[in-house]
Each structure stands twice: as C-alpha cells, then as structure tokens.
C-alpha cells in the first residue's frame, strides 16, 4: 500500500467518523457544568450492592466492566504490535553486549545508584502489590499497581545493569503474565454464563464492606488486570532495552562493543 493511498484511506475514515464525533461533542455538558449527580448515584448504590469502598473499581469492574475488558485487549494489542515491530527489525537474537558510539565515554554505575535501586526496588514492588490487592478498599487497582510493579522491575536494570536484568526477567514469563491476565479477565465474563448468569455477573460472595476480600468477582478481574499490565509494560521495557544491544553483524560500520 502506497503512502498516498494510506493518506486517502485515513481521510475517508475521518470523514466517516466526523458526524458521530460532532454529535457526541454537541451532547457534552457545558464547560463548568456540574455532573455530580452521577457520582452521587454511584456512591449511593455501589457500597450496598457490591460491598466496595473504592467507587473507581466499582465502575471499572462492574458498572462498565465490558468496556474495561475492551480496554485491556486494546493494551494487549498495542503491546503485541510494538513487540512484533521491534523484533521484526531486530530479530529474536539477544546478547549482553551493548552498542557503543565512537567518542562517547562509558560512565560506570555509581555505588549510590546501585544501593538506592536495591532499596527502592523491593519497596516499590511491595507498594505495587499493595495497590493491586486493595483495589476495592482504597484508591488504586490493577492498572495503577501493574504500572508500579513494572517500574520496580525497571529499577533492577538501573541498579544491576542489563546482565542483572536478563537474569531476573524472562520474556516468556512476561508473555504468560500479559496473556494470562487478559485471559483471566475474559473468563470472569464467560464463567458466570455457564451458571446461567449474565456476562461478567457476580457469582462469588461479596464479602464485608471495607474488607480486603470484598467485591466478589471484581477481585479476580482486578488481579487479571494487574498481571496483564505489569507483564505488558515490563515486556515493553525489555524490548526497548534489546534495541540497545549490539547486533551480531552491526548495521553501521562505526559501532563497536562496550
């Protein structure tokens, strides 16, 4: 497909979407208008119906759970596409040798950076787990906690270097986390249908309000999201770092090993 044809298809798609975009924009509340009535209704319904104190989780995993499932697969598709593009250019091979540009000095990692990352890494991971498991009680959830967990793995790279990162992080583990989390979320919608319930309808005990194990099926859905987000973002970090590795046959004559 030529660039001109792609631009033409993009223009046609934009024209097709323009009427719907204009209609939605015209239907938005006026700037500065209050829409607190929606929040008031959710605050009145969700605690008694779902036994959760975090209304954001109630919206994401219950009131609009199907939309959240779609968003999860959008993230899965985006990360998969990025990985395919990067590996398509680079290939599947990996090496611990970094590329080095001529004339650029190699600055050794300071002891202070290593110590700070070794302290902050585990603490960040614990905080990420806390955010994930307390999704129905306090602000947070699988999306936020998954990103924090991925950040904790990034601290391994900053503190231990690429070799330490590769020893601790495995690509096939990340694939299993990302795909398994999305699949777990999907099962949360399909399994209730086996019992005659609606898609994503709660079939588990709701627990006690403000308790860690409240919310029923929302806990499992949140866990799936946390796995998928943590695995997906860490996979992105890994692929971007692989781009800094030296190829078996350097593409440019000026590259040399560190």
Examine residue 67 and state whether it is found in any structural domain, yes or no: yes
Domain count of the fold of the chain: 1
Question: Which pLDDT belongs to residue 145?
Answer: 94
Q: Residues near 227 by Cβ (< 8 Å), separated by ≥ 6? A: 142, 146, 177, 178, 180, 181, 184
Examine residue 116 and state whether it is found in any structural domain, yes or no: yes
Examine residue 2 and state whether it is found in any structural domain, yes or no: no
When pLDDT is cut at 50, 70 and 90, the band that residue 254 belongs to is very low
Cβ–Cβ under 8 Å, residues 218 and 52: yes
Name the more confident of 41 and 18. 18
Q: Is the pLDDT of residue 83 over 90?
A: no
- Work out the angle between the directed axes of helices 111-133 and 217-242 (0-180°, nearest 10): 150
What is the span of the domain harbouring residue 60? 54-257
Examine residue 45 and state whether it is found in any structural domain, yes or no: no
What value does the mean pLDDT take over residues 152-179? 85
When pLDDT is cut at 50, 70 and 90, the band that residue 108 belongs to is confident
* 112-141 CB burial, b ≥16 within 10 A, e <16: eeeeebeebbeebbebbbebbbbbbbeebb
Terminal C-alpha separation, the chain: 40
Examine residue 48 and state whether it is found in any structural domain, yes or no: no
What value does the mean pLDDT take over residues 103-116? 82
Q: How far apart are CA 238 and CA 241, in angstroms?
A: 5
Q: Is the pLDDT of residue 250 over 60?
A: no
What value does the mean pLDDT take over residues 42-52? 90
151 token code pair: 């950040």
* 5-42 CB burial, b ≥16 within 10 A, e <16: eeeeeeeeeeeeeeeeeeeeeeeeeeeeeeeeeeeeee
Q: Is the pLDDT of residue 258 over 60?
A: no
Burial of 191 (0-12, 13-18, 19+ CB in 10 A): middle
- The helix/strand/coil state of 245 is strand
Q: Facing residues of 100 across strands?
A: 256
Least confident range of 49-58, 84-93, 236-245 = 84-93
What value does the mean pLDDT take over residues 188-210? 92
Examine residue 99 and state whether it is found in any structural domain, yes or no: yes
152 token code pair: 């904790």
Q: Is the pLDDT of residue 158 over 50?
A: yes
Which DSSP state fits 107?
P
pTM of the model: 0.77
166 token code pair: 């590769």
Examine residue 30 and state whether it is found in any structural domain, yes or no: no
- Phi-psi bin for 207: left (phi > 0), alpha (psi -120 to 50), beta? left
Examine residue 49 and state whether it is found in any structural domain, yes or no: no
Number of H-type helices and E-type strands within the chain = 8, 2
């Amino acid at each position: 497909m030529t660039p001109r044809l792609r631009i033409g298809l993009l223009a046609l798609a934009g024209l097709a979407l323009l009427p719907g975009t204009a209609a939605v924009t015209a239907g938005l509340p006026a700037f500065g208008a209050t829409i607190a009535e929606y929040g008031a209704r959710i605050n009145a319904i969700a605690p008694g119906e779902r036994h959760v104190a975090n209304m954001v989780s109630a919206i994401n995993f219950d009131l609009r759970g199907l939309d959240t499932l779609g968003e999860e697969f959008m993230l899965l598709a985006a990360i998969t596409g990025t990985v395919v593009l990067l590996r398509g250019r680079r290939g599947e091979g990996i090496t611990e040798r970094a590329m080095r540009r001529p004339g650029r000095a190699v600055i050794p990692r300071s002891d202070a950076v290593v110590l700070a990352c070794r302290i902050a890494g585990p603490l960040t991971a614990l905080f990420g787990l806390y955010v994930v498991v307390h999704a129905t009680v306090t602000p947070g959830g699988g999306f936020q906690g998954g990103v924090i967990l991925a950040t904790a793995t990034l601290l391994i790279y900053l503190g231990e270097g690429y070799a330490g990162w590769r020893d601790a992080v495995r690509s096939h583990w990340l694939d299993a986390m990302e795909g398994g989390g999305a699949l777990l979320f999907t099962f949360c919608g399909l399994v209730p249908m086996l019992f005659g319930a609606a898609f994503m309808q709660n079939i588990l005990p709701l627990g006690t309000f403000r308790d860690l194990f409240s919310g029923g099926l929302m806990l499992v859905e949140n866990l799936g999201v946390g796995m998928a987000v943590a695995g997906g973002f860490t996979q992105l970090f890994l692929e971007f770092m692989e781009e800094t590795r030296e190829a078996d046959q350097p593409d440019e004559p000026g590259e040399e090993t560190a």
